[in-house]
């Protein structure tokens, strides 16, 4: 069970390992793009290329969906970013349970956006956890955990791709241990848990009174979506590819310099060097190209 690109490496790993996949469950096709054309989820496309049966129920809780799964009688269900909550009636079907790949070191960052939140919070280490699912939200017993360092300039998009690969390795190790009889489940400590809700567009609005390091983490944690932004002469201006610098020189939100190396903006503490910018409806540009085509110059005040 999986839907977006994050689930692809795990499905590819299962196929390469020769796992007997009796079915692939994914979300229904959705309208996408400017033309709102009906588009298949990435997992569906991969499954069909390999001749696998694909199921796309709108709601897993429907009695006919549950009965269909019972007829399939799977030994195990592998779940990666499926996009629906699995009810107890489905969790109880496989004799070895439902095992999920979650993109954090549980119990930290339960919820929908663990990759984004870890970066926004300035974490230096994250990882993936395979978990035996229960009816709670990412509360099941942990099976295999794999850690990785977060690069100081790494964006959520870049970390997403690395964790997807790490998730595949963790799942294959989980299945190997299960087959060997060496898999051990470890309960989560709720006292150490934290929650990472779905990111919203308004979270990307920059408050220039904050320190530069905080804004740097916000920018990369929301890249590529929903994006961190400010306002230039009333227009939405997206900020990307930043670095925090020391020093305080000017009112927060004031452009201190704008040149080929980037745009330096005063913050509540420190300076934020911005190397890529994007006006609403325009392409994302390197700072050198952006400043040539706009009135962005030293002394310009950005609205937070």
The average pLDDT across 156-182 equals: 98
Structure tokens at 219: 């920018």
Mean pLDDT across the chain, nearest whole number?
A: 97
Is pLDDT above 90 for 304? no
- Dihedral of alpha carbons 142, 200, 219, 192, sign: negative
Give per-residue pLDDT as tens, 212-271: 999 999 999 999 999 999 999 999 999 999 999 999 779 999 999 999 999 999 999 999
pLDDT for 141 equals: 98
Sign of CA dihedral 6, 12, 14, 17: negative
Give dist(CA 66, CA 263) in Å, integer.
56
pLDDT at 3: 98
Question: What local confidence, expressed as pLDDT, does residue 150 receive?
Answer: 98
pLDDT band, residue 294 (cuts 50/70/90): confident
Q: Provide the pLDDT confidence category of residue 34 given band limits of 50, 70 and 90.
A: confident
Q: Does 114 score more than 80 pLDDT?
A: yes
Beta-carbon count within 10 A of 227 CB: 18
Average pLDDT over residues 122-151: 98
Burial letters 72-101, b for 16+ CB under 10 A, else e:
eebeebbbbbbebebeeebbebbeebbbbb
pLDDT in tens, 45-86: 999 999 999 999 999 999 999 999 999 999 999 999 999 999
Of residues 293 and 196, more confidently modeled: 196
The rounded distance, in Å, linking the Cα atoms of 273 and 244 is 6
Q: What is the pLDDT of residues 269-289, one digit of tens each?
A: 999 999 999 999 999 999 999
Domains, in order of start, for the chain: 5-192 (3.40.50.170), 201-293 (3.10.25.10)
* pLDDT at 209 > cutoff 90: yes
| Angstrom distance (rounded) from CA 2 to CA 10 | 9
Alpha helices by DSSP H, listed for the chain, are 8-16, 42-49, 63-72, 88-91, 114-120, 156-180, 212-221, 287-293
SS3 132: strand
Q: Is the dihedral of CA 286, 288, 294, 299 positive or negative?
A: positive
Confidence of residue 39 (pLDDT cuts 50, 70, 90): very high
98 sits in which H/E element: strand 98-102
| DSSP result, 172-193 | HHHHHHHHHT----B---GGG-
Distance (Å, whole) CA 237 – CA 229: 5
pLDDT for the residue 291: 93
Helix (H, G, I), strand (E, B) or coil at 223: coil
**pLDDT at position 35:** 84
CB atoms within 10 A of CB 3: 21
Is pLDDT above 90 for 105?
yes
pLDDT above 70 covers what percent of the chain? 100
Q: Which two tokens stand for residue 143?
A: 């099976």
CB 55 within 8 A of CB 24: yes
For residue 193, the model assigns a pLDDT of: 98
Q: Given this model, what pLDDT does residue 177 score?
A: 98
């Amino acid at each position: 069970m999986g839907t977006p690109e994050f689930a692809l490496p795990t499905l590819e790993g299962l196929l390469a390992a020769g796992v007997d996949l009796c079915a692939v469950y994914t979300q229904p096709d959705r309208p996408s793009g400017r033309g709102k054309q009906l588009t298949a989820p990435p997992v569906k496309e991969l499954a069909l290329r390999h001749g696998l049966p694909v199921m796309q129920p709108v709601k897993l809780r429907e009695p006919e969906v549950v009965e269909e799964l019972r007829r399939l009688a799977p030994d195990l269900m592998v779940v990666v970013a499926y996009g629906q909550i699995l009810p107890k009636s489905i969790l109880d079907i496989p004799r070895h349970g439902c095992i999920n790949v979650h993109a954090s070191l549980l119990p930290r960052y339960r919820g929908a956006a663990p990759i984004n939140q870890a970066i926004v919070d300035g974490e230096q280490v994250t990882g993936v956890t395979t978990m035996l699912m229960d009816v709670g939200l990412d509360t099941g017993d942990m099976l295999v955990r794999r850690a990785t360092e977060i690069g100081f300039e790494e964006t959520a998009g870049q970390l997403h791709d690395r964790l997807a690969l790490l998730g595949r390795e963790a799942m294959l190790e989980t299945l190997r241990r299960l087959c060997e009889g060496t898999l051990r489940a470890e309960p989560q400590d709720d006292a150490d848990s934290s929650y990472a809700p779905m990111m919203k567009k308004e979270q990307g609005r920059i408050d220039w009174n904050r320190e530069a390091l905080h804004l740097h983490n916000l920018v990369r944690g929301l890249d590529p979506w929903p994006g961190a932004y400010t306002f230039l002469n009333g227009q939405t201006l997206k900020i990307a590819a930043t670095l925090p610098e020391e020093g305080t020189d000017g009112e927060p939100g004031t452009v201190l310099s704008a040149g080929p190396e980037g745009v330096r903006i005063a913050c509540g503490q420190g300076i934020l060097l911005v190397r890529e910018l994007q006006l609403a409806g325009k392409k994302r540009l390197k700072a050198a190209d952006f400043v040539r085509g706009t009135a962005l110059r030293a002394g310009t005040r950005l609205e937070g």
